[in-house]
Each structure stands twice: as structure tokens, then as C-alpha cells.
Structure 1
Amino acid sequence: MRTPRLDALPPSEGAWLEVDIGRQCLVHWQGEQRQGEWSVSTGLAGTGQREGSGRTPLGWHYVRAAIGDGLPPGSVFRGRRHTGETFSQSLAEAHPERDWILTRILWLCGLERGFNRGGAVDSQRRYIYLHGTPPDQPMGVPRSHGCIRMRDADLLEVFALAPPGTPVWLHE
């Protein structure tokens, strides 16, 4: 297991996020003080760095972009763009093939060259996000295609706490 060193964090006024894949939770930290915790769902295929693996990457990342500010909860995204749709059961039934990305996107970029940055292991090029998911999707169990899924209300809280530049540590 990779152990975080607070002195190795990029500058972000001491605020950072931890995604504990083993516990399926996200923790918000201010320095060494735990501020909040939320349930998540990570990759069904487990952890891994490779593009096309469907696995959740490990290591240090940062929030590269925060997308969707001001849009209503349930807003639907495709290709990081708002489609103009709001998630509903009838929309889900009309598009059963979609991997729903809802409400907000926190797009992650790896910080460790050759591990989660660059080449076939680049988290940003893999489009690894923290994003909302439909209410019928379970939390606390791995079910995603590699991203970190959250309940919309929880994601809205985290979105407000994690502007671009916020460090994020993903570990098992």
C-alpha cells in the first residue's frame, strides 16, 4: 500500500481528498484533520492503471477541472458537456446502454509519471472522474467503469470543497 506523506502534497492550503477503495469511501481532509466522509463506488474490475482496463487508478492525483457548477442536480453529461437533459427513470429506460455521468464532474489528473501520468497509464486521458450516478446504483460496492461514483447530494458537497488543484489520493 502506498502511504501518503502530507509534506509531499502539492500546495492546496492543506485541503485534500482520500479515496479508500477498500472501504469504498471518500474522505475530505484539512491537513491532518478529517472533515467529512462519503460512500463511493469505484471500478467493478478493481484497481489498475492501464487505459481500457475499466479499473480505478491508484496514487496521487489532483482535480484538473470542476465541471457543472450551477447546473441542477441530475444534469446529464456526455463528453464532459451538459446534454440539456436531467436524469429521470424514463430517460434511463430510453437509454439503458448509457453509463450515467450526472450532476458534476471532478476530472482527475495523475501526479506520478509512469504510474498514473503519461503513456497508457494517464488518468486524465482515461477520463477518470468523481461524478454523480443514478439513485438506484449502489454505493459502498465497486460497480463503476473505473471512475469514482457518488450520490448527487454527496457530490455537491465534495464539489464545493475540492476546487481545481485539490490533491486526491486513491489507494486500496
Structure 2
Amino acid sequence: MRKPQLSHLPPEQGVWLEIDLGTQSLTIREGEMCRETFAISSGAHGIGQHEGSGQTPVGWHYVRAVIGDGLPPGSVFRGRRPTGEVFSPELARAHPERDWILTRILWLCGLERGFNRGGDVDSQRRYIYLHGTPAEQPMGTPASHGCIRLRDEALLAVLEAAPAGTPVWLHD
């Protein structure tokens, strides 16, 4: 596992998110205390920093923006904009090609220049998010295009604890 840069360690007090790509889990932490853990699904192509890789980046990030506040669970997003649709099995059958981004988008921004910020390794410009996914999508196994997928209920719980500005450590 890559050691975090000392300048990016989480605060001794306060909420931060730990995303363990090895165990496919997200833990809400307050200081060193574990508040809650959820299953995730990360990039099907593994771990990596580079644009176009379809991989999930590692290192220190923060939640740059939250998109979709106030929309109903299951709201569908394309290009970071709500489509006005709410996910349903019928909608999935009508659009089998879609990579579903549901409920909310927690858009990540890297904190480590040259590693996950800037150039062709910039997590924000790669559109790396935490987002909701349909219930039939697997959790606990890598299956995304690089983002972190969560069940809608888990995503809403994460958002309640971790608003914009919250530190996030992704590691293997």
C-alpha cells in the first residue's frame, strides 16, 4: 500500500473518507474512529492514475462538489446534469448501453500534484466521482469505468456525513 504524503494526512478530529480498493469498501471516519463502512465497486481495469485508463486513482483527494442535492433517490445523471429521469428496470431495458450514474455525484479532486492532480493524472479532469448505481450492479467487486459506485442508500449516508470539502483517501 502506498503511504500517504504527510501533508495530506487527515485531521486528528473531523470526518474523512477512507476508500480501500483492496477490500472494495468505503469507511466514514472521524479522526481514527470508524463510524460506518459500505461496500463499493471501483474500476474494472484496476488502479491507475492516467486519463483514459478506466482505472480508479489512489492518493489523497477531497470532495470538490456535490451535484444533485434535493433530487429524489435514483435520479439519473448524464454529463453531471440530471436528465429528469428516475432509474427503473423499464428505463434500464430501454437503455442497456448506459453506465448509470444515479442519485448524487460527489466529484473528487486530487490533492497530490503530479500524482492525482494536474496533467494527465488529474482526477477532477478525469471525472472521478462517488455516485449511486442500480441495485442489480455488483458491490464488492471492481466493475466501474474508474469511479466509485455505491448503493443509493449508502451514497446518501456518505453525503450526510461528508459534504463538499471532505478529505478522501483512496488506497489499495
TM-score in terms of structure 2 length = 0.95
Percent identity of the aligned residues? 71
SS in 2 for 1:104: strand
Map 1:40-51 to 2 at 5 A: 40-51=40-51
- Name structure 1 gaps, 5 residues minimum: none
Please say if residues 43 and 143 of structure 2, whose CA atoms lie closer than 8 Å, have aligned partners that are also in contact.
Answer: yes
Q: Which amino acid aligns with 1:17?
A: L
SS in 1 for 2:158: helix
CA RMSD of aligned residues (A): 1.6
Map 1:12-91 to 2 at 5 A: 14-91=14-91
**Residues 121-152 of structure 1 deviation map (CA, whole Å, 9 limit, x = unaligned):** 00000000000001100100000000000000
Task: Give the distance between the partners of 2:138 and 2:8, measured in 1 at CA.
Answer: 34
Structure 2 equivalent of residue 96 of structure 1: 96
SS in 1 for 2:170: strand
Instruction: Give how far 1:4 is off.
Output: 4.0
Instruction: Give how far 1:67 is off.
Output: 1.0
* Counterpart check, 1:167 vs 2:155: no
Please say if residues 12 and 31 of structure 2, whose CA atoms lie closer than 8 Å, have aligned partners that are also in contact.
Answer: no
The 1:8/1:123 distance shift into structure 2, 3 A limit, reads: closer
Instruction: Give how far 1:3 is off.
Output: 2.9
Task: Give the distance between the partners of 1:39 and 1:113, measured in 2 at CA.
Answer: 29
* Counterpart check, 1:3 vs 2:3: yes
Please say if residues 12 and 32 of structure 2, whose CA atoms lie closer than 8 Å, have aligned partners that are also in contact.
Answer: no
Structure 2 equivalent of residue 106 of structure 1: 106
**Residues 45-95 of structure 1 deviation map (CA, whole Å, 9 limit, x = unaligned):** 000000000000000000000111111110000111111000011111111
Structure 2 equivalent of residue 151 of structure 1: 151
* Counterpart check, 1:131 vs 2:131: yes
The 1:7/1:29 distance shift into structure 2, 3 A limit, reads: farther
The 1:117/1:6 distance shift into structure 2, 3 A limit, reads: closer
Please say if residues 12 and 167 of structure 1, whose CA atoms lie closer than 8 Å, have aligned partners that are also in contact.
Answer: no
Please say if residues 44 and 143 of structure 2, whose CA atoms lie closer than 8 Å, have aligned partners that are also in contact.
Answer: yes
SS in 2 for 1:96: coil
Q: Which amino acid aligns with 2:8?
A: A
Structure 2 equivalent of residue 140 of structure 1: 140
Instruction: Give how far 1:8 is off.
Output: 3.5
How many residue pairs match? The answer is 172
